[in-house]
Structure 1
Amino acid sequence: MKRIVLIRHAKSSWSDPEAEDVGRPLNKRGRLAASLMGAWLDEMDLVPDAVWLSPAERTVQTWTRMRAVSGGPEGEVHKALYMADPNTMLSILRASGKAETIAIIGHQPGMSAMARKLSDGKMSTSVARALTHYPTGGVAVLEADVKKAAEIEYKSCAFTHFVIPKDLV
């Protein structure tokens, strides 16, 4: 069994209108939300053992905050994850080796599209909301009944959890 954790970066700052998108940091609300979501991962025993990050500053800061609370690996920046589509994310997931719980931290609209494509379509309304509204800090968890990450396929995963920071306060 492989668990896939799809994390949309926490709320970012727009305080510098001239900053490049890739360099925008988290704002105060985002920093708090990332820590909260990290605690949720820990509480749910969903701390990933492999983490792939978009190179955007906000994704790196999101994982840094989450990791400070939950533990887990440092994470690996993968340039292709910046505004990635599901096919790119699937390729990266499949290259995750022996990891049991694999996280991707990225952006919309890729996160909801990836959750939709991986899901077998059988889901509760509490997780189905991710397919239409995936706010900053949102975390989706899917489970693939495979032994190797290389075997993960679209439409083959059970969509088990979707939580947003607002759910936890």
Structure 2
Amino acid sequence: MSMSVSLRRKNRPQAFYQGRPKMRLYLVRHGEAVSEEVNPERPLSQRGRLDVEKMGRFLRRAKLKVDLIWHSGKVRALETAQILGGALFVKDPPVTRQGLAPLDPIKLIENQLRKREEDLMIVGHLPFLGKLASSLVSGSSSPDLVTFQAGGVACLERLEGGSWRLEWILSPGLL
């Protein structure tokens, strides 16, 4: 991938990449959950819910558009998906998708992403999200290349040539 850097106003660097975005993929780690001792289903904690709501408000103000939301089916992922879907006015309800559990292999989802063109949000878990993001961007599934805080969002873009780039990453603590 070829990249050049120029300076914008206020001397901020801005990167220009070859290729235009063909698809945006938003990877979201579920918000903070209660412990298994408190509730074996591990729904969002009060703090987790507040963090995800804050993230949703921020993303709505940023005019983020999502066509579809997938989630793992675990309660904390479903709740996170519902909160973000409501904040972003996503037309269809979040869809439970097989292959998004914490220890699932990433190849199934990687293959499905190759066939998609609409902007998609996936709400899931570690280490799956870190491995998926790393594999898409670098070809290596090392989970430490991209890290996620609870309630954090990473935006990846697939370019016309099929390569992926990490556009940005946010955590609730930054908002």
| Cα distance in 2, alignment partners of residues 90 and 46 from structure 1 | 23
Which string of whole-angstrom CA distances, capped at 9 and with x for unpartnered residues, describes residues 110-137 of structure 1? 111111111159xxxxxxxx73531111
List 4+ stretches of structure 1 deviating above 6 A.
none
The equivalent residue for 1:88 is 108
Maintained 8 Å contact 1:93/1:102: no
Change (3 A) 1:120 1:16: closer
TM-score by length of 2: 0.75
- Larger proportion of helix: 1
The equivalent residue for 2:151 is 137
Which string of whole-angstrom CA distances, capped at 9 and with x for unpartnered residues, describes residues 68-127 of structure 1? 22211311101321223321321342354x52x111111001111111111159xxxxxx
Task: Trace 1:14-163 onto structure 2 (pairs within 5 A).
Answer: 14=35, 16=37, 19=40, 23-72=41-90, 73-83=92-102, 84-96=104-116, 98-99=117-118, 101-120=119-138, 131=145, 133-146=147-160, 152=162, 156-163=163-170
**Which residue identity does 2:110 align to in structure 1?**
L
- Larger proportion of strand: 2
| Other structure's SS at 2:73 match | coil
Provide the aligned C-alpha RMSD in A.
2.2
The equivalent residue for 1:125 is none
Unaligned runs of at least 5 residues, structure 2: 1-21
Bigger radius of gyration among the two: 2
| Other structure's SS at 2:63 match | coil
Percent same amino acid among aligned pairs?
Answer: 27
TM-score by length of 1: 0.77
CA offset at residue 49 of structure 1? Answer: 0.4
